[in-house]
């Protein structure tokens, strides 16, 4: 969208609609986890930017989906390069995260980069 | 972002933005005309009507629904919607067993190509903090009661996947055509804070 | 970063306020901030990860009391300064010039 010449609405629309995916399908990165695996969110509390939410740290859930490889924000946010990693949707029971106050049949799904996870 | 007071802005912020835009333009880093087009696009070219068409198509066409649930990005692009903040879509379907609701607790991630830009409440600390911990209470405040035997599943958009909730098709809608059905679908239904 | 932005599950935030028929943008300046961010991401060279990092470094009391686009703007200013593209000094000087222009006009 930094086209300085001939800026038309349609050129802008085309640039928006092309998107800016952070998926890196060509990156050769071994996939550690598979759907169905039990995983725990690592007890890590970095000062830098991360997308591992505090409320899930140390909690155990199940891999629902393996999404492929994406730019890793912990590295990229600090201008340290893309370091692409596998991303997974992990499902937790509500009680795992919030204790017995939570409904017994509710759940939460969060998306994690592989370095946030360890086998449970 | 709780302090979203939408009365007259202080002239301070207006002047500051003018200053920044003019300086960046002088340095060749932004083009005010391009900004006009970007704003126009997000005010008019995208919005919940896009997502409503996706949902209505899924209700009417089982094969499309299957494609949507399998590979939402491609299925949504079939209808002409794609791009920023929608490059990696997942559609989650409400059923008699599961009610889905979406949030971004960490910031404001939202599927722009199908829903447009998010409303202020979605980006607010009350929603972001409470929907993950007490979803049923929050949904009640939105006017939606989820029966106890239905699972509430909250999707926190913590990576680059963007979620679209496919509400359940309303009862007694068999005679409706796709356009009529699309008119029933609301933005709140596609976030998951309303039934449809 | 274990900052205020990571607010999933926090207690105390109260009722969710909603606005009927909320416009996409509430003020013209918000539209400009939005457009600047999309353009500058390409021209200055930053992406969502860096913008989020920048937002998260805003002090908690400012994070909670600023409007959404005010936060974006503050975060971009920090990136512009970090990348040596635009300093706060330049911004302040231009603001003064604009104020002078308004007074004279």
B3 inside domain: no
- Tell whether A67 lies on the interface with C, counting CB pairs under 8 A: no
**Is the CB of B133 less than 8 angstroms away from the CB of C65?**
no
Inspect the interface and report whether the beta carbons of A54 and C2 lie closer than 8 Å: yes
Q: Verify whether the Cβ–Cβ distance C8 to A53 is below 8 Å.
A: yes
Same domain, B125 and B162: yes
In a domain, B196, yes or no: no
Residues of B in contact with C45 (CB under 8 A): none
Q: Is residue B2 part of a domain?
A: no
Looking at every residue in chain B, the average pLDDT score rounds to 95
Of B107, B45, B86, which Cα lies nearest the Cα of B190? B86
Domain count, chain B: 2
Cβ–Cβ contact A43 with B under 8 A = no
Answer yes or no: do B38 and B127 share one domain. no
Q: Which domain holds residue B110?
A: 47-191
State yes or no: is B104 an active-site residue: yes
Q: Do B172 and B96 have their domain in common? A: yes
Residue at B68 is within a domain: yes
Establish if A47 touches chain C: CB-CB under 8 angstroms.
yes
- Whether B33 and B102 share a structural domain: no
The answer to whether the CB atoms of B13 and C43 lie below 8 A apart is no
pLDDT at B53: 98
Active site residue B60: no
What does the DSSP 8-state code read for residue B120?
Answer: G
Which residue out of B156, B157, B163, B192 would a mutagenesis test of the A interface target, given it has the greatest number of A Cβ atoms within 10 Å?
B156
Model confidence pLDDT, tens digit, residues C25-49: 999 999 999 999 999 999 999 999 9
What is the tens place of the pLDDT at every residue in B136-159?
999 999 999 999 999 999 999 999
B132 and B111 in a single domain? The answer is yes
Q: Please provide the CATH number assigned to the domain covering C28-104.
A: 1.10.472.20
Identify the pLDDT of residue B6.
Answer: 54
Per-residue pLDDT tens over the stretch C50-64: 999 999 999 999 999
Please give the pLDDT value at position B2: 45
Q: Are B169 and B58 in contact (CB under 8 A)?
A: no
Q: Are B113 and A21 an interchain contact pair (Cβ–Cβ within 8 Å)?
A: no
Q: How far is CA A112 from CA A24, A86, C14, C20, in A?
A: 16, 8, 28, 35
Q: Which chains touch A (3 or more CB pairs under 8 A)?
A: B, C
Beta strands in B16-124 (DSSP E): 89-93, 98-103
- The answer to whether residues B20 and B52 belong to one domain is no
Do B186 and B194 touch, CB atoms closer than 8 A? yes
Same domain, B20 and B63: no
Higher pLDDT, B176 or B4: B176
Q: Give residue C102's pLDDT band: very low, low, confident or very high (50, 70, 90).
A: confident
Helix (H, G, I), strand (E, B) or coil at B163: strand
- Do B92 and B18 lie in one domain? The reply is no
Q: What six digits make up the tokens of B175?
A: 């005679």
pLDDT of residue C105: 67
Domains of chain A: 22-119 (2.30.30.50)
Given a cut of 70, the residues of chain A with pLDDT beneath it are 1-5
Asked whether residue B23 falls in the same domain as residue B116, the answer is no
| Rounded CA separation C56/C73 (Å) | 13
Residues of chain C found within 8 Å of residue A1, distances taken between Cβ atoms: 38-39, 41-42
* Pick among A22, A49, A90, A94 to test the B interface (most B CBs inside 10 A): A94
pTM recorded for the entire structure: 0.96
Q: Among B60, B82, B108, B124, which one carries the catalytic annotation?
A: B108
Whether residues B61 and B108 share a domain: the answer is yes
């Amino acid at each position: 969208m930094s086209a300085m010449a001939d800026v038309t609405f349609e050129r802008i629309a085309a640039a928006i609609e092309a998107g800016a995916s952070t998926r890196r399908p060509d990156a050769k990165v071994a996939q550690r986890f598979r759907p169905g695996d039990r995983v725990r969110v690592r007890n890590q509390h970095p000062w830098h930017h991360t997308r591992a939410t505090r409320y899930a740290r140390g909690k155990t859930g199940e891999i629902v989906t393996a999404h492929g490889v994406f730019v890793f924000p912990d590295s990229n946010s600090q201008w340290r390069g893309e370091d692409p990693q596998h991303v997974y949707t992990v499902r937790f029971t509500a009680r795992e995260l919030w204790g017995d106050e939570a409904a017994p049949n509710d759940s939460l799904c969060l998306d994690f980069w592989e370095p946030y996870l360890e086998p449970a | 972002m709780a302090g979203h007071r939408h009365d007259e802005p202080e002239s301070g912020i207006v002047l500051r933005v003018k200053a920044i835009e003019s300086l960046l333009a002088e340095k060749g880093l932004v083009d005010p005309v391009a900004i006009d087009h970007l704003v126009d696009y997000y005010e008019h070219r995208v919005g919940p009507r896009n997502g409503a068409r996706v949902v209505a198509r899924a209700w009417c066409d089982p094969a499309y629904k299957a494609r949507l649930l399998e590979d939402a990005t491609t299925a949504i692009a079939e209808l002409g919607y794609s791009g920023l903040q929608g490059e990696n879509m997942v559609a989650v379907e409400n059923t008699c067993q599961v009610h889905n609701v979406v949030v971004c607790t960490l910031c404001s991630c939202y599927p722009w190509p199908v829903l447009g830009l998010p409303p202020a409440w979605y980006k607010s600390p009350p929603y972001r903090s409470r929907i993950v911990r007490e979803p049923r209470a929050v949904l009640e405040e939105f006017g939606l009661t989820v029966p106890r035997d239905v699972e509430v599943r909250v999707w926190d958009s913590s990576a680059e996947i963007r979620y679209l909730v496919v509400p359940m098709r309303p009862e007694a809608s068999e005679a409706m055509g796709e356009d009529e059905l699309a008119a029933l679908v609301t933005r709140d239904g596609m976030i998951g804070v309303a039934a449809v | 970063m274990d900052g205020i932005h990571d607010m999933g599950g926090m207690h105390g935030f109260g009722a969710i306020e909603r606005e009927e028929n909320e416009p996409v943008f509430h003020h013209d300046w918000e539209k400009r901030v939005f457009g600047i961010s999309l353009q500058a991401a390409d021209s200055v060279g930053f992406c969502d990860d860096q913008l989020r990092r920048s937002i998260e470094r805003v002090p908690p009391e400012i994070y909670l009391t600023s409007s959404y686009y005010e936060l974006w703007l503050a975060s971009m200013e920090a990136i512009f300064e970090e990348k040596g593209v635009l300093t706060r000094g330049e911004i302040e000087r231009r603001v003064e010039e604009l104020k002078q222009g308004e007074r004279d006009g």
